[in-house]
Homo-oligomer: A and B are copies of this chain.
Amino acid sequence: MADALIEALVAAVGARDVLVDDDVRASYETDWTRRFHGRARAVVRPAGAEDVVAVLAACREHGAAIVPQGGNTGMVGGGVPRGGEVVLSLGRLRELGEVDRATGQVTVGAGVTLAALQAQARAAGLDAGVDFGGRDSATIGGMVATNAGGIQAIRHGTVRARVAGLQAVLGDGAIVDRRAGLLKDNAGYDLPALLVGSEGTLGVVTSVRWRLVPLLTARVAALIALPSVAAVAELLARVRPELASLQAAELMTDEGMRLVLDHLGASSPLAGDAPAYLLLECAGRADPTDELVSALDGAGVQDAVIADEAGELDRLWRLREGYTEALNAAGIPHKMDVGVPLSQLPRFAEEVVTAVQRVAPDARTIVFGHLGDGNVHVNVLGPDPEDDAVDEAVLRLAAACGGTISAEHGVGVAKARWLSLTRSADELHAMRAIKRALDPDGVLNPGAVLPAG
């Protein structure tokens, strides 16, 4: 049975791109968090949409399930096998077209990394409009499938806003292709819009028509020490209307700052410690420093470091981007990525520590995130990776605050069982009906997004 499947996969993409050896498969079987892993029956590397159609047909024929995988930088186990699936790795789809300057668009294969897209865009005087720490590994296909967010969403929106169209293969083998780059195209349902964020459960994204944004090279950042998370939220609400050039507003706390400084062996750029920090970045064609400084002065900010040179900017951003590494070095954290309305953020930040302690008294809870989007990353060190009482406590609190159980990481397999915390029975019913409509045999990423039942 297994041999017949492998033979069919080899017929689909060639023997070179069907990986079956244990050691070759290994890097495809465990995700970034190390919490999620499973054995793959094979790893298949298609060269394009037609190959994907053939792989899907082979898997449907032999009753095998497929887990699509991009750069494998997911946080919720949606891109690694649960056990026995075929991993469909899109890494070979590396087409990177010429930038069309008149429309500000480019066609980019699913396997291209974010960093490569950023470089291509910048060489044409434009920019990708999305940025996050995993840029060297994360790929466009995965970013579209998971509607990636990141640090610039406050300005440019999530990846959804960057998709002018895409090519994908649906679960039943149908090819969707809408890459003409027409800003207005109201001819039938927007299948691309449905596929964005569907986490490989409805279709496999193979190529994307990407909307670029203007390249804003004049940058300035400020790290501001504040007495509480509430003060951070208040300051952002106060200065936001004055900062047309704002493109990042990150929240950090004392606990996380100490963890990162220790990990980096660095000292704080500020004079002393503080309970909470706000990291702002503004960018424009013209230097936005005056705009930022004047807004902070107007708000009575006293304890701040301003960075407007490349080296200083990098130094500030290392503090924020160092979180993932510092946390991973300290253990296998439970990573919860929730969203709450800005008005509820101080309540959430205060109550989450207690909520975690109730189920894991010795746990260390570290909160940070993309404040402007109400997107909070809650990392808990201590509890066993397999024990999800902590996850549930955090997700229930986010739901109670009117928020979401997943802001930018997606549902994956990690959160599927809790989807009903913020989606009604009516909505889950509609999602299941759509899943059956586009993937009638349930071959794509079973167990991800939708809870069983």
Contact of A190 among B177, B197, B285, B402 (CB under 8 A): B197
Contact of A102 among B188, B191, B342 (CB under 8 A): B342
The yes or no answer to A183 lying at the interface (CB within 8 A) is yes
Chain B residues in 8 Å Cβ range of A103:
341-342
Question: Are A406 and B438 closer than 8 Å at their CB atoms?
Answer: no
Chain B residues in 8 Å Cβ range of A16:
none
Chain B residues in 8 Å Cβ range of A244:
214, 285
The yes or no answer to A400 lying at the interface (CB within 8 A) is no
Q: A188-B411, A197-B189 are in contact. Are A153 and B183 (CB under 8 A)?
A: yes
CB 8 Å contact bits of A156-184 with B (1 = contact, 0 = none)? 01101100000000100011110011111
The yes or no answer to A200 lying at the interface (CB within 8 A) is no
The yes or no answer to A403 lying at the interface (CB within 8 A) is yes
Interface size of A in residues (CB-CB distance below 8 Å):
81
The yes or no answer to A405 lying at the interface (CB within 8 A) is yes
The yes or no answer to A46 lying at the interface (CB within 8 A) is no
CB 8 Å contact bits of A399-425 with B (1 = contact, 0 = none)? 000111111111100010001001110
Contact of A339 among B149, B154, B184 (CB under 8 A): B184
* Cβ-closest chain B residue relative to A285: B244
Question: Are B189 and A434 closer than 8 Å at their CB atoms?
Answer: yes
Question: Are A404 and B187 closer than 8 Å at their CB atoms?
Answer: yes
The yes or no answer to A392 lying at the interface (CB within 8 A) is no
Report Cα–Cα, A436/B341, bound state, in Å.
35
The yes or no answer to A68 lying at the interface (CB within 8 A) is no
Chain B residues in 8 Å Cβ range of A107:
none
What's the least CB distance linking A189 to chain B, in Å?
A: 5
The yes or no answer to A24 lying at the interface (CB within 8 A) is no
Question: Are A430 and B339 closer than 8 Å at their CB atoms?
Answer: no
Chain B residues in 8 Å Cβ range of A240:
102
Q: A183-B153, A370-B184, A437-B436 are in contact. Are A189 and B404 (CB under 8 A)?
A: no
The yes or no answer to A73 lying at the interface (CB within 8 A) is no
Q: A174-B427, A434-B434 are in contact. Are A241 and B101 (CB under 8 A)?
A: yes
Report Cα–Cα, A190/B434, bound state, in Å.
11
The yes or no answer to A379 lying at the interface (CB within 8 A) is no
What's the least CB distance linking A405 to chain B, in Å?
A: 5
Query: 23 interchain pairs (CB within 8 A)?
Result: A147-B186, A160-B190, A170-B426, A174-B427, A176-B430, A180-B341, A180-B402, A182-B341, A182-B404, A183-B339, A184-B375, A185-B339, A186-B197, A186-B411, A187-B405, A187-B411, A187-B415, A187-B419, A187-B423, A189-B194, A190-B197, A434-B438, A437-B437
